[in-house]
Chain A
Amino acid sequence: AQSVTQPDIHITVSEGASLELRCNYSYGATPYLFWYVQSPGQGLQLLLKYFSGDTLVQGIKGFEAEFKRSQSSFNLRKPSVHWSDAAEYFCAVGVSGGSYIPTFGRGTSLIVHP
């Protein structure tokens, strides 16, 4: 079965600084990979997803993520963080074929200092 690890529970950055949130997955074949964002008191919203092709994926709100097969990673990046980016970020992994039940990581809480 697939699994996903987000090693950082909290990340604190200053507004305007760059951001990288880590995500590692475990799956025997090429997975489907997702990043979701959860603003306080809200449900989750898709930021971006990777299926195949270009390993650098662009998403909404200026986020991008890079799939690195050799490292089993799918890290989320943003060159300049805004205060409104403070939220919980979830990485998820899905598999091809059969019922589509993705597995979510435990989330990383992003704190943005002014």
Chain B
Amino acid sequence: NAGVTQTPKFRILKIGQSMTLQCAQDMNHNYMYWYRQDPGMGLKLIYYSVGAGITDKGEVPNGYNVSRSTTEDFPLRLELAAPSQTSVYFCASSTSGSGNTIYFGEGSWLTVV
């Protein structure tokens, strides 16, 4: 019972490098999300998607890009990594409609040096 799977779990990037955080869900959920979590700041929504081919910006989208070519996958691309992007990233998914439970991945710890 995989749920939401994120890779990699840990990564160190140098300033200016780029990388992609992978996210896959096997629950046939329409909605998928990317959050970042910084100490004492809670969860900040980066991007979300309500279905394949549809994405939209969240609260903190700058420096990131996403795509949603399939229902299952929702990768997050970091372009030109900066120290401010050091954070824990969570991918999540839910069924469409209000009030449904959001299922989270285990997180990806990213450090930019």
Contact = CB atoms under 8 A, between A and B. Distances in A.
Nearest to B58: A101
A106 B107 contact: no
Chain A residues touching B, majority SS: loop
B107 A42 contact: yes
A102 B58 CA distance: 11
Q: How large is the interface on B (under 10, 10 to 19, 20 to 34, 35 or more residues)?
A: 20 to 34
A105 B40 CA distance: 10
A63 interface: no
A104 B43 contact: yes
B99 A32 contact: yes
B101 A46 contact: yes
A9 interface: yes
B1 to A, nearest CB: 14
- Top 4 closest pairs, chain A to chain B, by CB: A43-B104, A106-B42, A32-B99, A104-B43
Interface of B: 4, 31, 33, 35, 40-43, 45, 48, 50, 56, 58, 90, 92, 94, 96-102, 104-107
